[in-house]
Amino acid sequence: MAGLGFYGWPEACWMAAAALALDWLIGDPRWPTHPVIWMGRAVQALEKRLRRRDGLSAAALRRRGQVLAAAVTLGSLAAAWLAVAAARFVHPWLGYAVNTWLISTTLAVKGLKQAADRVAMPLAAGDLPEARKYVGWIVGRDTDRLDEPEIVRATVETVAENTVDAFVSPFCFALLGGAPLAFLYRAANTLDSMVGYKNERYLDFGRASARLDDALNYLPSRLSGPLIALAAWMSRDLPVSARRALRSVRTFAGRHPSPNSGIPESAVAGALGVELGGVNIYFGVPSERARMGWPLRPLRQEDIPASVKLLYRTSYLLFAAALLAGIGLMAQG
């Protein structure tokens, strides 16, 4: 049984596919408040309570960070479980609807497209200041002096990396455990984005959150490489190479400091025939990021919509797989 005991595998597959279709059509909900915002508020409130005392030892910070990670992830799982359970109690079809809608809020395929489009449109119009502003919404590096190729690189890297974080991982967890497991994953990912930094403030306190996010993304990220390559093979309308995408993963993924992010980034870089990574500036300090792919040509504006098309076609593949699996499992049952 899937969905933490609520639904069988065929139902889980169909609801995950329906949730993805809902994300394609609607994207992130404006009302009610997006669940990730509530997760972020919970992280902020708990961090404030757990760090009330100054001068905590590294070991104490690690323990408190573990409490934070457990409380936010398990609390998110419990909230989704209770919501689905309450809906099922009212009517089975309401349970299906609530489970599907909650899963859709953990996916962000359309949201990623919209974020990339916000950068691409002013870039196409030659408005670099506006493009820099919008790329600053999706990356942590300094953006006030980025030229056009660097704006393109930052956007393509974001789309590539978040192919896993915003789609493949939550979709896989939804298949395994419905909205509750998808919420647990999304909470872990939110924790990592807020406290999973290797700086003075979070090196110890955020360690548990960073490691949990790495662990949860481990298998989905390794699935993403072949999926992106298959999406490239399907993309006859784009100048991309599936074979080069796979070769790029084998060659470059291990160079990335993250055990997971290098896989989708290197796959997209290889597919497009460009080099991602390089020197980023954080608070005025240069930082060399692992370089992914071969610079067969310079980065150009067209690489942003191309990376978005690879993201969408990757999502089509998992959508089709979920539907076919649901049909096959129903036929067997």
Q: What is the pTM of this model?
A: 0.95
Q: What is the dihedral of CA 40, 46, 48, 52, to 10 degrees?
A: -170
Cα 158-320-274 angle, rounded to 5 deg: 30
Q: How long is the chain?
A: 333
What end-to-end distance do the CA atoms of the chain give, in Å?
Answer: 13
φ/ψ of 236, rounded to 5, equals -70, -20
Mean per-residue pLDDT pooled into runs of 10, the chain (333 residues): 70 96 90 88 96 91 97 98 96 96 97 97 96 95 94 98 97 96 98 92 96 98 98 96 98 95 98 96 89 97 98 98 93 80
pLDDT of residue 28: 84
- Measured CA to CA, the distance from residue 208 to residue 193 in angstroms comes to 13
